Structure formats: structure tokens, C-alpha cells
């Protein structure tokens, strides 16, 4: 177990009304508990507003959690003091979604990559240069790029630089926030393959945040689905795609546009997604998904669904599976 | 008759160049495509392949200069748009509706939805002198048609009060309100979540079938193309590489780029992470004079880089521009 | 070695040609550049260029007083018999000096305050800094400068200080706006997540991304500062006689209108040209820098 999240909450205050007197909260992450094993690639999937990125930012300390514990290698990060932020940020790194905006356009690749080394006072000037060359080699780029500005690089190359920056301080855990969704499909694969080989080589653990379930099918060891700041379902990848339980998971799976007949046959029976994703400010009472759920019951509006273990590794947050109905097979009547 | 002859809309040998300081970039290289009445056509390509430039030329928003239409024709219902000016051009353009890419940036944030929709209707029906009441009626009808809940109330909403999916519905409504014959949709669902994308595509399909419209949908999303379109054009670096019925093209891709593209999509079947296509898109400044995919192609031959492959007919409507394939049906009078 | 120097040279020649290509797309920018160049040369080499350098100071020659434009005095002479052309050339010297000094003082202060306030948006620092800025902004700059200049002894230095005091808030506002969006960029988040210090983030990550708009504003502002300097000098709060200020020359000449029109018209045109020149030049700079971003 390298990282455990214990009931993490992240609320953003929004003021509005006359003289901004009224205070409301965007409950971006509203009680998420997860355990990520060392060396695994944990896929966190959700649509916009699900809070998946906020959760990732909270883990690496860009946001401070409102409540809950982030236990990294036995240490609680949520209470981390100013002093040891540096030491911890070395171990936890992040790669952002859009390599266009995650690299400073006015700084050379060398300046960008050298920053983490300087901050953590690693090596002399000469040693650092050697390290930078090594990093570029790791991400399969020629070392001449050190003197270029990001503008001169393609999207895929920029993302490699962003990966190199994360690797610079030899982290153990990397949050990948949609690392390939801004890239063309013909280069995505190469970047993901690079990430996978780096994970093996450096014994890294990834929290892979994405909206792309098809990608997770091929990458993640376990997958979690988030909706409006809460978890819906967590399961090992093969189980997840073979036996999806939560109605939202099924809706997501059936909405994925695929490119072949074989894939089509793997999707759950088609259901028309209905309704809009509610705003995280006005989360529906009870289960957040009930407004769009084809199987919503009375209890769904009154009570939040509890975490139910279908088997040892498969958890689902849905009233359909509380207690008696644990079997998990139900009629999908649209 | 060939697809081209019966087409409502066709682009023939369109060449567009950009004159920049670095030199002249020949972005579009003899692009031809056709859309028949009632057809759903996809134009697929990756970043920088020229699909947006094509759209801009058709809609008339290509910045000139630096852009320049070097040659080619764009025919709509028997007239060449590129030879028209002024009011006549506006009238023809009015029969082509545009569904833009980014719903949030495409509605003016300071006007109510109703105001913008009514303005669009008033302009597109300017020859009919509609009364305010009729325009409002039309606006409500068309919002109902795209499945916007409570259209009357939504008329007085501002864009920020709507979600992305709702805004896209409003934009589709705006395009439909003009009673177009052809819709051009530029990445219509890229900004939307998958479950919302599914809804929007569904309503677009219904509206198109109901009104017997044609649509040219421009996207990089292969899955969407497979589910939505009848025929597809694959574009790479300003050249059309392959075209055919969606079923043929996905079941039996011919062009090495099409094959590579399809293989690059991660599959639900879990076959592992795809390798993608080696190399990167060429700089248009130094693009090969022949097949522009040749530097990345694993089956490239000597002729590829120097000689531009012609579109050849393989079967039915399946055509490919690749030197690997030879014209097989010489006796077919429509071929070539 | 020679090879490297050669390639460096040809590279910078290429860059220069590209810069010129972008700048010269708008013909008016070239006009602006020419005006700015000529005025700068005039000002820099005034003692060598002005036909009568001595006329820029305490000089009296009544026999030639109030002469209309002619071959000896291209722009005529004033009531003391001083050559107006020479005085305009020296006037440019003081005007440009004023522009350069004011901007050199105002830009670092305004930009730094804007950086800090923008980065700490929503905190007390932001509130305090921006409210002070707002107060300065709410007073019309000319009135503020007039008030300040009239309290201090009227001379060039104090006029510059007065203008500076009313000018910095504009830079604070500009940079504040830029920073409040830049600070949310992922590259800033990434630097923060790395543990970089706040000064590093402010000056190394954010500041370089503010340079283009600030430079554009500076080149446009040169003209405005000069105009403001001329206005102060018009009411006697700038360069002190006998030194020539463009504004004070106009003010002095107004007493002899309409007969001795040249005493007002030529200095007036001189002010107009310099302001216009810097504005056109500034537009060119904006085109150049904004396209570089694209």
C-alpha cells in the first residue's frame, strides 16, 4: 500500500449574492476513500465535474484537502507542515493534461527541467546537466532539445518533457492528469507506452486520471469511476469491464464510441443517457446519480448509498447492491 | 452516376496555400469530396491535417491573406461558391448551416439565448418579412426540436446559465432554424462528455433524418464517425487518402494511414496499448511533393515521395490514393 | 569556430528579417519608426544638428526678434530673436529625456506591484495594493501631476516625478490583469508543485510572459508621457526658461497670436508629430509581439 485516501473532501467556497455575502461550496471531492498499491496503475475515470482532477491535485498538494487523510507510505500528508513540503513533493509528482500550457513558453526546456533539481538542491551545475541529458534520453528525445523553447516541439514531445520534469526528482508516485487527451491518437500510444515502460523501470505507481475508458482497459490494473465528487465503482480492470455493476458505469460504457464490431459486442446493452450532469454546487440529495439513473428508487433520493463490497476487490456505491441484492444482475429496462 | 455527379455539395481539387514569412505552405493539396442529399459524411484527420482549413474555405471564414485559394471549385447545388460575390453568395451560404466546435465560445455571453436565436432566424429568413410573433414561434419550435427542455423559459436564459450540452443544442437549433440543406459540423461534440455526446449525436441524427438534410461532420474521433456517418473521407496533411462507405472503410481499411489510425485507437477488447504511427506530421514547408504520408509509411516505395498518388476506385465507393493499389476495374466507365 | 560564428550570424540575420517582415506589414508602423528614429537622432545630436545651438539657452538678439519663417530661420524666431527650429530640437531632447526617465521609474514599480497583487489575488496584499492603485487611478493624471508639480519647485525633475506618480498605477493594473490569469496556468501550478520559491515563480515564470504587453504599452506611452510633459510645461511646470520646453514655447507664443503664428504652430506640430510617431510605432510593436505569440 503506497497511498491511502481516507474520506478526502475538497470544497471550494463560492461567494455570490449582494456584496458577495452568500457563501456556498462547490463540493468538488466529497468523501473519497481509496487505497493504491505500490507499482500499480490505478485508473480514475469520470466526466467533467466529477472531481477526478481535483482529487489528483489534492494528492500532490496543489490543493489542500478540506477534510480527510492522505496517507502516503504511512505518513499523513493532509496535515503536512510547510517544512517538509519539499521532501514530500519529491516523492509525489504530477503530469498535467495540456502540455501546451504546462510548459512555460518563455523558458527553455533546460530551464524547465532544471528547476526541480535546483529546488531540491540536487547536484552541481555539471552534474545537473548530465542528469538532464539522461532524462531526455529516458523520454526518448535528442539532447539538443535542451536549448529549445516549447514552441518548437510537437504536442507529443512537449508531453515527454512534462514527463521528464516529473521524473527529474526521482518520485515514487505520479499523478497523470489526462496525460494524452490533448494528443493526436496516432501519438497517444507512444506516450502511454513510454509511461508504462518508465513505471516498470523505476518502480513507479501511477494515479492515471482520464475520461477514456478504452484506454484504461489496456493500461490500468484497477479502475475507479467518479461522479459528482464521489466514487461509484472500483474494481480490477478485467472484472470492471466484464461485470460492470453501477448504472452509471453501464451508461458510460455503453456511450463509448468504438471502432470495431468486436468492441461493440462488449458494451453493455445500449441505454440512452438521459439528463444533464448536475452542478457540483447543487448536488442532488442522496445518490448524486439518481437524477439520471434509469433504476432510481425512492431510497436513492433520501440516503447516500454506502460502499458495498461485491467481492473482495470490487466495490460499488449504489442502493441496488445494499445487502440482499448483492448478486448484481438486474434487468436493464430502458 | 458517380457520387460526384449526384452530389448536393462537392469540393473539387481544392488547393489552399498560406503565404507566411517562412515561405508558402501548400496546406490543401487537391482535396475533393462530395456530399449527396440526405447523406452523413465524415471528414477525419488529426491536428493540422487541414480539415478545419477546408471547413473555413467552405464557410468563407478563411483569413485571406495569409491564406490563398490557389485553385479548385466548391459546388453547391449547381453553383460554384468560389465564383459568387455579395448577395448571391450570402443566399447560397444561407443554405449551409454551421455547427461550431466550441459551444461556449460560439454564443455571445451578454445576450439572451432567445435574442441570439431570433437574430439568426430574422437574418436567415430576411426575404420573408416575418413578424416578431412568427419568429418567436419558430425559435420555440426549433428549440423543442433539439430537445431543449422548457424552450420558452430557456429563451430568456443567458448562455452561462446553460451547460455545455445545452449550449450545443442551442447552436444546433440556430443552424436548423435557417432551414439549411447542408450542415457542416466542426468537431461538434469534442468539448462534451461521452454521455452528453451520445445525446447530442442522437438528436442531430434525428433532426437530419427528419428534415432529410446532408451533413459533413469534421472530427478526429473515429468512434463517432463509425457510429454516425454513411461515408468517410480520411485526410492526412492536406491530402485525402481514402474514402468509402463507413462500413467498408472500418472493416477493410486500405491506406496505410487509415490502417495505422484505426490501430492507434485503444480498444475495449484489451489488446494492449497501441503503438501508434511512427514519426510526426511533416512540416508543410518541406512536405514531400508526392504522398505526404510517405515519410511515416512502412510500405513506402520510390515513387511515393515524388509522385502524388491518384484516387483510384477499389470497389463500390471505396477509393484510395496510394501507390500500393492498382486500378483493377479498368472496364468500369466511372472509374478514375 | 568560424563556422559557429557564421551560423549564429546568419541565424540572427534571419531573426531580424522575420521581425522586420512582421513589423513592416503595416506601412504606418514604418512611418512611426521613422519619426521616432529621426526625433531620437535630433534629440541625441541636438548640439550638432540645431542651426543655432546657443539659442536653446539664455540668448537675446532683438534685431532678429519675431521674424517669420525664412531662409535664415526655417521656423522663424521668437520675441527674443531665438531660432524656433533650434529650440524645438532641444525641446525634443528634454521631452524624450522625460519620457525615458518616467518610464524607467514607473515600469519597474508598477510591474512589480502588479505582479505581487495579481499573484496574491484574493488576499489582504491584493486588497491593499489594488485599492491604493485604484485611488491613484481615480484622479485624472493631469490634475494629479499638476497638483504635485505645483507643490514642488517647478523644474524638469519634479515634473518627471509628478508624472511618474500618476503613471505607475496603469502598469500595476495591466500586469495585475495578466497575472491573475497567468497564475492559474499549469506551468505555474507545476512550478508550485515542484516547490519553487515565490520570487522564482513571480519573476522567472510569470514575468517573462508579461513582457510583450508591457513593452507594447511602453512604446505607446512614450507619446503620452511626452504630451503630458508638454502640458505641464505649457502651464509653466516643466523645463524652466530660458531652456526650451515644447509646451512653454506654445504658451509663450500664444500672446503674439495671430500675427506671429509660427511661434505656436511649429512647436504645436512638433508635439503632434512626436505623439503620433510613438503611437504608430507602438502599434507596430504590438503587431510584432502579438504575432510572435501566435
**Residue A89 is part of a domain; what is its CATH number?**
3.40.50.300
Q: Does B134 touch chain A (CB under 8 A)?
A: no
- pLDDT tens per residue across span B99-157: 888 878 888 888 888 888 888 888 888 777 888 888 888 888 888 888 888 888 888 88
Whether A261 maps to a domain, the answer reads no
Backbone torsions φ then ψ of A89, nearest 5 degrees: -60, -20
Whether C6 maps to a domain, the answer reads no
What pLDDT does B215 receive?
Answer: 93
What pLDDT does A199 receive?
Answer: 92
Report if pTM > 0.80. yes
Coil, strand, or helix at residue B2?
coil
Contact C191 A94 (CB under 8 A): no
Stretch 41-80 of chain A: residues touching chain C, C-beta under 8 Å: 57, 60-62
Whether C10 maps to a domain, the answer reads no
Cβ–Cβ pairs < 8 A, chains B and C: 4
C21 vs B contacts (CB less than 8 Å): 21
Whether residue C57 is predicted with pLDDT greater than 70 in this model: the reply is yes
Give partners of C (≥3 CB pairs < 8 A): A, B
Whether A274 maps to a domain, the answer reads no
Mutation target vs C (from A106, A159, A209; most C CBs, 10 A cutoff)? A106
Residue C4 pLDDT class (50, 70, 90 cuts): very low
Whether residue B336 is predicted with pLDDT greater than 50 in this model: the reply is no
Whether A200 maps to a domain, the answer reads yes
Contact A102 C196 (CB under 8 A): no
Residue C81 pLDDT class (50, 70, 90 cuts): confident
What pLDDT does A19 receive?
Answer: 62
- pLDDT tens per residue across span A274-319: 778 888 788 888 888 888 888 888 888 888 888 888 888 899 998 8
Whether A304 and A231 have beta carbons less than 8 Å apart is answered as no
Whether A36 and A90 have beta carbons less than 8 Å apart is answered as no
Whether C207 maps to a domain, the answer reads yes
Q: Round to whole Å and give the CA distance between B74 and B81.
A: 6
pLDDT under 50: residue ranges of chain A: 324-334
What pLDDT does C276 receive?
Answer: 93
Longest CA–CA span in chain A (Å) reads 67
Residue C35 pLDDT class (50, 70, 90 cuts): very high
Q: What CA–CA distances, in Å, run from C210 to A241, C118, C176?
A: 48, 12, 10
Give partners of B (≥3 CB pairs < 8 A): A, C
Domain that holds residue A91: 3-254
Rounded to the nearest angstrom, the minimum Cα separation between C176 and chain B is 24
pLDDT, averaged across chain C:
84
Whether A68 maps to a domain, the answer reads yes
Domain that holds residue C202: 34-50+76-293
Instruction: Read off the pLDDT of each residue in C119-139 and give the average, rounded to a whole number.
Output: 88
Q: Closest Cα to residue C205, out of C228, C233, C179? A: C179
Residue B328 pLDDT class (50, 70, 90 cuts): low
Q: Tell me what percent of the residues of chain B surpass a pLDDT of 90.
A: 17
Instruction: Read off the pLDDT of each residue in B259-269 and give the average, rounded to a whole number.
Output: 90
Q: Does B21 touch chain C (CB under 8 A)?
A: yes
H-helix or E-strand containing A131?
helix A125-138
Contact B226 A259 (CB under 8 A): yes
- pLDDT tens per residue across span B51-61: 888 988 888 88
Q: What is the 3-state secondary structure (H, E, C) of B39-51?
A: CEEEEECCCCCCH
Lowest-confidence pick of B33-47, B251-265, C1-15, C232-246: C1-15
Contacts of B127 (CB under 8 A, 6+ apart): none
Q: Round to whole Å and give the CA distance between B234 and B101.
A: 19
What pLDDT does C280 receive?
Answer: 92
Whether B146 and B169 have beta carbons less than 8 Å apart is answered as yes
A214 vs B contacts (CB less than 8 Å): 265-268
- Which of the two residues, B28 and C3, has the higher pLDDT score? B28
Contact A47 B195 (CB under 8 A): yes
Give partners of A (≥3 CB pairs < 8 A): B, C
What pLDDT does A328 receive?
Answer: 43
What pLDDT does B290 receive?
Answer: 85
Whether C230 maps to a domain, the answer reads yes
Whether residue B35 is predicted with pLDDT greater than 80 in this model: the reply is yes
Q: Does B275 touch chain C (CB under 8 A)?
A: no
Give DSSP secondary structure letters for B75-120: EETTEEGGG--HHHHHHHHTTEEEE-S-HHHHS-TTS-HHHHHHHH
Mutation target vs A (from B147, B194, B204; most A CBs, 10 A cutoff)? B194
A115 vs C contacts (CB less than 8 Å): 191, 194, 196, 200
Residue B332 pLDDT class (50, 70, 90 cuts): very low
Whether B287 and B279 have beta carbons less than 8 Å apart is answered as no
What pLDDT does A18 receive?
Answer: 61
Phi-psi region of C197 (alpha: psi -120 to 50; beta: other; left: phi over 0): beta
Contact C193 A165 (CB under 8 A): no
Total tally of structural domains belonging to chain A: 1
Judged on CB neighbours under 10 Å (0-12, 13-18, 19+), C257 is: exposed
Whether C80 and C60 have beta carbons less than 8 Å apart is answered as yes
Whether A312 maps to a domain, the answer reads no
Instruction: List the strands of the sheet with A3-16, edge to edge.
Output: A22-36, A3-16, A67-72, A75-76
Q: Tell me what percent of the residues of chain C surpass a pLDDT of 90.
A: 27
Nearest to A86 among C195, C200, C209 (CB): C195
Whether A88 maps to a domain, the answer reads yes
Q: Round to whole Å and give the CA distance between B229 and B241.
A: 18
- Which of the two residues, C264 and B328, has the higher pLDDT score? C264
Whether residue C273 is predicted with pLDDT greater than 90 in this model: the reply is yes
Rounded to the nearest angstrom, the minimum Cα separation between B323 and chain A is 22
B21 vs C contacts (CB less than 8 Å): 17-18, 21-22
Instruction: Read off the pLDDT of each residue in B17-24 and give the average, rounded to a whole number.
Output: 82
Whether C29 maps to a domain, the answer reads no
What pLDDT does A334 receive?
Answer: 34
CATH of the domain at C189: 1.10.3720.10
Whether C26 maps to a domain, the answer reads no
pLDDT, averaged across chain B:
85
Whether C190 maps to a domain, the answer reads yes
Q: Round to whole Å and give the CA distance between C40 and C84.
A: 18
Q: Round to whole Å and give the CA distance between A97 and A210.
A: 9
Q: Does A237 touch chain C (CB under 8 A)?
A: no
Q: Round to whole Å and give the CA distance between A233 and A308.
A: 9
Is the ipTM, as predicted for this complex, more than 0.90? Answer: no
Rounded to the nearest angstrom, the minimum Cα separation between A10 and chain B is 22
Whether C5 maps to a domain, the answer reads no
Nearest to B195 among A190, A252, A259 (CB): A252
- pLDDT tens per residue across span A25-71: 888 888 899 999 999 999 999 988 888 999 998 888 888 888 888 88
What pLDDT does A82 receive?
Answer: 53
Q: Round to whole Å and give the CA distance between B62 and B48.
A: 15
Total tally of structural domains belonging to chain C: 1
Q: Does C191 touch chain A (CB under 8 A)?
A: yes
- pLDDT tens per residue across span B195-219: 888 888 888 998 899 988 999 999 9
Amino acid at each position: 500500500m503506497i497511498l491511502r485516501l481516507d474520506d478526502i473532501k475538497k470544497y471550494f467556497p463560492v461567494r455570490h449574492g449582494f456584496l458577495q455575502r452568500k457563501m456556498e461550496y462547490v463540493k468538488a471531492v466529497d468523501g473519497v476513500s481509496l487505497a493504491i498499491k505500490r507499482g500499480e496503475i490505478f485508473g480514475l475515470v469520470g466526466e467533467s465535474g466529477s472531481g477526478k482532477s481535483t482529487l489528483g491535485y489534492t494528492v500532490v498538494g496543489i490543493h489542500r484537502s478540506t477534510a480527510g487523510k492522505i496517507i502516503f507510505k504511512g505518513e499523513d500528508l493532509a496535515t503536512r507542515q510547510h517544512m517538509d513540503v519539499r521532501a514530500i513533493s519529491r516523492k509525489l509528482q504530477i503530469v498535467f493534461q495540456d502540455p501546451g500550457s504546462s510548459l512555460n513558453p518563455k523558458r527553455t526546456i533546460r530551464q524547465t527541467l532544471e528547476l526541480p533539481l535546483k529546488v531540491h538542491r540536487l547536484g552541481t551545475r555539471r552534474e545537473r546537466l548530465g542528469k538532464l541529458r539522461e532524462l531526455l534520453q529516458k523520454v526518448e528525445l535528442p539532447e539538443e532539445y535542451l536549448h529549445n523553447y516549447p514552441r518548437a516541439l510537437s504536442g507529443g514531445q512537449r508531453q515527454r518533457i512534462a514527463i521528464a520534469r516529473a521524473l527529474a526528482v526521482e518520485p515514487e508516485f505520479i499523478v497523470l492528469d489526462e496525460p494524452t487527451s490533448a494528443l493526436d491518437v496516432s501519438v497517444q500510444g507512444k506516450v502511454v507506452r513510454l509511461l508504462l515502460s518508465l513505471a516498470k523501470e523505476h518502480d513507479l505507481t501511477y494515479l492515471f486520471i482520464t475520461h477514456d475508458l478504452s484506454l484504461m482497459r489496456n493500461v490500468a490494473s484497477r479502475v475507479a469511476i467518479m461522479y459528482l465528487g464521489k466514487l461509484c465503482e472500483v474494481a480490477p480492470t478485467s472484472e470492471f469491464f466484464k461485470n460492470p455493476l453501477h448504472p452509471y458505469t453501464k451508461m458510460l460504457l455503453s456511450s463509448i464510441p468504438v471502432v470495431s464490431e468486436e468492441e461493440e459486442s462488449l458494451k453493455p446493452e445500449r441505454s440512452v443517457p438521459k439528463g444533464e450532469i448536475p452542478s457540483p454546487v447543487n448536488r442532488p440529495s442522496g445518490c448524486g446519480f439518481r437524477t439520471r439513473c434509469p433504476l432510481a428508487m425512492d431510497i436513492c433520493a433520501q440516503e447516500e448509498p454506502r460502499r458495498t463490497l461485491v467481492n473482495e476487490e470490487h466495490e460499488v456505491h449504489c442502493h441496488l447492491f445494499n445487502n440482499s441484492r448483492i448478486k448484481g444482475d438486474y434487468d436493464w429496462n430502458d | 452516376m458517380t457520387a460526384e455527379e449526384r452530389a448536393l455539395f462537392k469540393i473539387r481539387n481544392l488547393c489552399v496555400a498560406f503565404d507566411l514569412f517562412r515561405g508558402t505552405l501548400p496546406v490543401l493539396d487537391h482535396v475533393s469530396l462530395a456530399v449527396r442529399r440526405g447523406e452523413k459524411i465524415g471528414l477525419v484527420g488529426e491536428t493540422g491535417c487541414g480539415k478545419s482549413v477546408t471547413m473555413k474555405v467552405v464557410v468563407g471564414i478563411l483569413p485571406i491573406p495569409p491564406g490563398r485559394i490557389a485553385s479548385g471549385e466548391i459546388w453547391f447545388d449547381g453553383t460554384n461558391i468560389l465564383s459568387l460575390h455579395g448577395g448571391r453568395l450570402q443566399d447560397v451560404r444561407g443554405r449551409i448551416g454551421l455547427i461550431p466546435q466550441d459551444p461556449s465560445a460560439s454564443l455571445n455571453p451578454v445576450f439572451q439565448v432567445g435574442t441570439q436565436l431570433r437574430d439568426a432566424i430574422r437574418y436567415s429568413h430576411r426575404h420573408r418579412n416575418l413578424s416578431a410573433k412568427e419568429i418567436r414561434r419558430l425559435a420555440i419550435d426549433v428549440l423543442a426540436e433539439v430537445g431543449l427542455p422548457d424552450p420558452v423559459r430557456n429563451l430568456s436564459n443567458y448562455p452561462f446559465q446553460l451547460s455545455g450540452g445545452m449550449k450545443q443544442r442551442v447552436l444546433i437549433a440556430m443552424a436548423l432554424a435557417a432551414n439549411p440543406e447542408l450542415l457542416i459540423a466542426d468537431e461538434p461534440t469534442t468539448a462534451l462528455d461521452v454521455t452528453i455526446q451520445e445525446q447530442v449525436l442522437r438528436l442531430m441524427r434525428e433532426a437530419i433524418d427528419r428534415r432529410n438534410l446532408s451533413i459533413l461532420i469534421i472530427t478526429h474521433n473515429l468512434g463517432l464517425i463509425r457510429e454516425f456517418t454513411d461515408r468517410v473521407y480520411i485526410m492526412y496533411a492536406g491530402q485525402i487518402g481514402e474514402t468509402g462507405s463507413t462500413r467498408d472503410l472500418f472493416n477493410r481499411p486500405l491506406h496505410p494511414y487509415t490502417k495505422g489510425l484505426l490501430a492507434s485507437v485503444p480498444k475495449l477488447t484489451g489488446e494492449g496499448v497501441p503503438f501508434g504511427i511512427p514519426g510526426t506530421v511533416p512540416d508543410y514547408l518541406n512536405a514531400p511533393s508526392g504522398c505526404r504520408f510517405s515519410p511515416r509509411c512502412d510500405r513506402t516505395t520510390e515513387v511515393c515521395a515524388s509522385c502524388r498518388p491518384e484516387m483510384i476506385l477499389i470497389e463500390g465507393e471505396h477509393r484510395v490514393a496510394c501507390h500500393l493499389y492498382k486500378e483493377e476495374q479498368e472496364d468500369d466507365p466511372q472509374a478514375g | 569556430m568560424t563556422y559557429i560564428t557564421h551560423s549564429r550570424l546568419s541565424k540572427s540575420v534571419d531573426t531580424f528579417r522575420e521581425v522586420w517582415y512582421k513589423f513592416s506589414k503595416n506601412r504606418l508602423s514604418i512611418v512611426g519608426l521613422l519619426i521616432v528614429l529621426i526625433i531620437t537622432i535630433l534629440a541625441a545630436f541636438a548640439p550638432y544638428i540645431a542651426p543655432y545651438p546657443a539659442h536653446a539657452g539664455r540668448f537675446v538678439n532683438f534685431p532678429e526678434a519675431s521674424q517669420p519663417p525664412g531662409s535664415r530661420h526655417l521656423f522663424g524666431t521668437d520675441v527674443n530673436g531665438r531660432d524656433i527650429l533650434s529650440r524645438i530640437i532641444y525641446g525634443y531632447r528634454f521631452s524624450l529625456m522625460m519620457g525615458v526617465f518616467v518610464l524607467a521609474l514607473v515600469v519597474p514599480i508598477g510591474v512589480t506591484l502588479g505582479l505581487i497583487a495579481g499573484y496574491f489575488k484574493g488576499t489582504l496584499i491584493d486588497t491593499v495594493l489594488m485599492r491604493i492603485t485604484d485611488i491613484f487611478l481615480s484622479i485624472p493624471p493631469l490634475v494629479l501631476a499638476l497638483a504635485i508639480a505645483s507643490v514642488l519647485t517647478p523644474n524638469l525633475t519634479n515634473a518627471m516625478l509628478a508624472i511618474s506618480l500618476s503613471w505607475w498605477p496603469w502598469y500595476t493594473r495591466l500586469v495585475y490583469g495578466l497575472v491573475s490569469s497567468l497564475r492559474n496556468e499549469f506551468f505555474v501550478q507545476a512550478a508550485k508543485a515542484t516547490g519553487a520559491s515565490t520570487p522564482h515563480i513571480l519573476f522567472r515564470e510569470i514575468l517573462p510572459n508579461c513582457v510583450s504587453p508591457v513593452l507594447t504599452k511602453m512604446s505607446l506611452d512614450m507619446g503620452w508621457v511626452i504630451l503630458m510633459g508638454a502640458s505641464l510645461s505649457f502651464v509653466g511646470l516643466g523645463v524652466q526658461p530660458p531652456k526650451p520646453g515644447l509646451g512653454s514655447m506654445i504658451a509663450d507664443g500664444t500672446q503674439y497670436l495671430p500675427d506671429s503664428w509660427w511661434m505656436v504652430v511649429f512647436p504645436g506640430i512638433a508635439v503632434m508629430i512626436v505623439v503620433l510617431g510613438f503611437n504608430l510605432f507602438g502599434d507596430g510593436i504590438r503587431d510584432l509581439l502579438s504575432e510572435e505569440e501566435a
